[in-house]
Structure 1
Amino acid sequence: MGGGVRRIVLDESVLFGCEDPNGKASLLPAAEYLLRKLLHSTIPTGISYRHDLSAQKASLLQGVAVQYSFDCFVWDETSTVDALNEIQLAWGDIGGSILYLVSDNNDDLLLKLRTHGWLLVILRSIGQESKDDVDGGPASEDSSIFYINKLEELPLTICRLNKKDISNDVVTVGYIMKPSREEDFSKRGAFPMYPSQNGLIFMPLTFALPISSQLQEVDVVLHKATDEIMSIKLNSSSELSNRITYTRGMLELGMYMERHPDFCLIDPFNNIDPVVDRLKIQQILLGLEDINRPGCCRIRGPYFLKVDNFNELNLIQRLSEAKLSLPSIVKPQVACGVADAHSMAIVFRVEDYKDLSVPLPAVIQEYVDHSSTLFKFYVLGEKVFYAVKKSTPNAGTLKKLCEKNELKPLIFDSLKSLPTGKENQNVNDQSIDIKLVTDAASWLRRVLDLTIFGFDVVIQEGSGDHVIVDVNYLPSFKEVPDDTAIPAFWDAIREKFESRKKKQAINSDQQFVDH
């Protein structure tokens, strides 16, 4: 072997579930999972089936091949070897190995595949599952034959083989996030199973398998823990520790990290806690004052006030003390991970705070006139990118839009669209102080100790203040072109891993000296 797994063939014997009473077949749920993972793996994939397969099954597989942009190969049992040769010829000289996944109940095909020289992965049938031969070694003396018990194990097997066969310098990144977010990253080529240009292999982690056994195969874990939050309990303390309840799988990941404190996690859960709490972020942003310089633009967070009860008697006085005027924007203190974290309101009159429907505790935040222009900044390791987007109107325009509704609070979901204004003739791409915001990005990276995060900046009309109105963890950075963003994404992960490894080496040397 040499060059790793460069092509994959899925035999029809591993894809179908039981037929329904009408004899109609469908794909196994695990097969659909596997197809999605292979779609954006950067490893070309084909589906293989016999010429005498039922018309319904053949049609289904052909549709799947079209849907996932896979190749489709049909072969005759009487000339299996010729068919396998044709597959190899169709793909040409690829400088690596073809991996063929087949069920162990297809004895005739197995016999021919064993002598063909490809990597052979055999899916054990139900009742034949074993823990043997799935620990990273070959299934027998033949180093090209491996067994798996579940289809979900194939990505792990592919990544393991690629790392072993290509270079020990390859870094395996296990990743876990909700399917829609994974799809956003994957379709941009962010999660290749074949090494990226800087030597990263990405392996999807799944709760269908024990997390601890998967983590033994990876060097780094990239996660979006906020996708796995079950509940958040806030109290009077400004600390969030031990008040976030995660899903069982994420808890298992957390326990593994506790047992292996040197493991590289991007990023530790405690580092993400502040991003979950809008009050904590606002308090952190107060420290931006340290990077402001006389005679230059000022960068800051918005003025804010935490409220536990919209009906409190001294609310007007507290708003004045916090430098808050109307209109103001009201947000739940919990920033993400729960259903109503994005339920917000813009309030135009003091009396309308009473019985406001925004979840409590909440943060009342300054509404900044910003000429409907929002600057989205993305921090990928030491690299900073930004994009310009349309945003909500200035307060005067917003009031006119709401006058017909008697200026009642504008209730909205921040994940959905809001009215966008037309006034941005005074603010454009050149009006932002890039150096100032880049300095702020570096400051935030140090303070939050996060590897990949984003924040939104608006420029206040009149004062020119650069105001950071939102901070979020592991954004999709979809506004940045793929050919720029994805290599920077990979570099950020690799740099974090190398930095962690270097620190461990220094600590190890120091301990040796101390002893």
Structure 2
Amino acid sequence: MNDMVASNRNIGIWMSDKKSQKLNWKELIKTCNNHGYNLIKVDIERPLEEQGEFAVFLHKLTDVIAAADQGDTKAAGIISSVEQYLSNHPNIVVVDPLDNVRILLNRYCYYTILQEEPSFKKQGIFTPTFAEFSTNNIERNIEIMKQRGVTFPVICKPTIAHGSKSAHEMVVIFNERGLNVCKPPCVVQSFVNHNAVLHKVFLIGNRYHICERPSLKNFYASEDSDPIFYSTGEVCKADSQSTLSILDPYDKAHLKLTLDEEKLKHIIRVLRKRIGLLLAGFDVVLDNATGNHAVIDINVYPSYDNFPNFFEHLLDNIDEMVSRKSVIEYTNGDCIRPREDFIDTPMLNGFINVGMGPSYGVTGMNVN
């Protein structure tokens, strides 16, 4: 084993001030120390070479990457510097690789990956039909929707999924007339009636946790209805009490749909294979007409506030990744290569919490 890799037990971490303020640093430092690591906060505006040797680089650079991709020169310089540093130190375990993170910064990109997944249809899994608008030409946009099978009502979302508050500002549009509120670049996605229940799935590698959240009530196409503007934070948080989540009397008469955990496991396997992030989450709703499971969004490094023992599971995965990165196979005495990537390992433990509040318990289970 390479002596430098074996002796280096530093985890360099960076996240925004907003994310930092929500983190229980004392608990994270304690868990890192219990696993034999030193946690070091890095300053991405300074050369990383000056800040120590790292076995692991743990970050949430999503907003910085998004800003860089949109032409922010300062952000572009930071990301270029980080990428160069990581290229110069290929033994560092990165949580998560920047190129993998970029996939989830663009809704059209990851919706396309989901739509093209061949195994979903036979499993009763889908992503609602969608189209991207790059122009304000309503006639052209209507034609694009027809070509892609997008039907009203639709949810209009910014194409860029991170980087600003506006990334979480949505519009429900009921008819062609309402398309004039769309601000390209944006994605319109067919709305799936799901009885105002959203299932958020939080991933740490192959370990997962499910929380049930309020969501939008059922909507139907209408020539008379005006667009409805909303923020996901106002409607879909655990303590949200939006009037947009109150079901109409007719919808209340329908039985509650049942989440199929086997379908969630399949989605997790696909995301691990196609996108390959350790820290991610996705949103699922159940089509109230068919019971099929619709994946409507994927997130990089979501809030893990409700994930039981989050830091312990994170460090377990980091241990596994560092171990695999450190084991080097020698061929003819001088050729080295890392072992197979960690993401191909079998599923580990899953957790499910289908309650809306803290009074509901968490049940552990094995995932094969």
Shorter chain as denominator, the TM-score bin is: 0.7 to 0.9
Change (3 A) 1:351 1:268: same
- Give the TM-score taking structure 2 as reference length: 0.77
Contact 1:177/1:227 (8 A) holds in 2: no
Aligned-partner Cα distance in 1 for 2:87–2:311: 30
* Partner of residue 253, structure 1: 82
Matched, 1:372 2:196: yes
Helix, strand or coil at the partner of 1:289: coil
* Partner of residue 11, structure 2: 173
* Partner of residue 351, structure 2: none
Contact 1:200/1:494 (8 A) holds in 2: no
Shift of 1:311: 1.9
Contact 2:156/2:189 (8 A) holds in 1: yes
| Stretch of structure 1 that moved more, 242-251 or 381-390 | 242-251
Helix, strand or coil at the partner of 1:351: helix
Identify the match of residue 353 of structure 1 among 144, 164, 179.
179
Identify the match of residue 36 of structure 2 among 188, 199, 205.
199
Aligned-partner Cα distance in 2 for 1:510–1:261: 22
Identify the match of residue 215 of structure 2 among 388, 391, 394.
391
State how 1:412-423 maps to structure 2 within 5 Å: 412-417=230-235, 419-422=244-247
Shift of 1:336: 0.6
Contact 1:232/1:338 (8 A) holds in 2: no
Structure number with bigger Rg: 1
Change (3 A) 1:285 1:459: same
Identify the match of residue 227 of structure 1 among 63, 67, 79.
63
Change (3 A) 1:466 1:367: same
- Give the TM-score taking structure 1 as reference length: 0.57
Change (3 A) 1:194 1:366: closer
Shift of 1:212: 1.8
Contact 1:454/1:472 (8 A) holds in 2: yes
Q: Which amino acid aligns with 2:192?
A: V
* Partner of residue 499, structure 1: 324
Change (3 A) 1:230 1:284: closer
Aligned-partner Cα distance in 2 for 1:209–1:317: 49
Shift of 1:475: 1.1
Shift of 1:412: 2.5
Change (3 A) 1:473 1:509: farther
Cα deviation per residue 1:74-111 (whole Å; 9 max; x = unaligned)? Answer: xxxxxxxxxxxxxxxxxxxxxxxxxxxxxxxxxxxxxx
Aligned-partner Cα distance in 2 for 1:181–1:395: 34
Aligned-partner Cα distance in 2 for 1:181–1:272: 17
Q: Which amino acid aligns with 1:195?
A: N
| Stretch of structure 1 that moved more, 470-479 or 455-464 | 470-479
Cα deviation per residue 1:6-54 (whole Å; 9 max; x = unaligned)? Answer: xxxxxxxxxxxxxxxxxxxxxxxxxxxxxxxxxxxxxxxxxxxxxxxxx
* Partner of residue 226, structure 2: 408
Shift of 1:218: 1.9
Q: Which amino acid aligns with 1:183?
A: Q
Identify the match of residue 260 of structure 2 among 433, 442, 449.
433
Aligned-partner Cα distance in 2 for 1:243–1:280: 21
Change (3 A) 1:463 1:510: farther
Higher RCO, 1 or 2 (CA under 8 Å, sep at least 6)?
A: 2
Contact 1:380/1:451 (8 A) holds in 2: yes
* Partner of residue 366, structure 2: none
* Partner of residue 341, structure 1: 167
Contact 2:45/2:78 (8 A) holds in 1: no
Identify the match of residue 313 of structure 1 among 136, 139, 144.
139
Q: Which amino acid aligns with 1:190?
A: L
Shift of 1:232: 5.3
* Partner of residue 287, structure 1: 116
How many equivalent pairs are there? 321
Q: Which amino acid aligns with 1:329?
A: I
Q: Unmatched 5+ residue regions in structure 2?
A: 1-5, 236-241, 337-368
State how 1:47-58 maps to structure 2 within 5 Å: none
Aligned-partner Cα distance in 1 for 2:219–2:74: 38
Cα deviation per residue 1:217-247 (whole Å; 9 max; x = unaligned)? Answer: 321000111132463557xxxxxxx999736
Contact 1:304/1:324 (8 A) holds in 2: yes
Shift of 1:282: 0.7
Contact 1:307/1:362 (8 A) holds in 2: yes
Aligned-partner Cα distance in 1 for 2:274–2:214: 29
* Partner of residue 266, structure 1: 95
Q: Structure 1 residue runs of 4+, over 6 Å off?
A: 242-245
Aligned-partner Cα distance in 2 for 1:511–1:312: 65
Aligned-partner Cα distance in 1 for 2:260–2:26: 30
Cα deviation per residue 1:481-513 (whole Å; 9 max; x = unaligned)? Answer: 3x3x332122122222223333xx13x547736
Identify the match of residue 472 of structure 1 among 277, 284, 299.
299
Cα deviation per residue 1:369-404 (whole Å; 9 max; x = unaligned)? Answer: 0111111111111212211111111115x97xxx9x
Helix, strand or coil at the partner of 1:281: helix
Helix, strand or coil at the partner of 2:323: helix
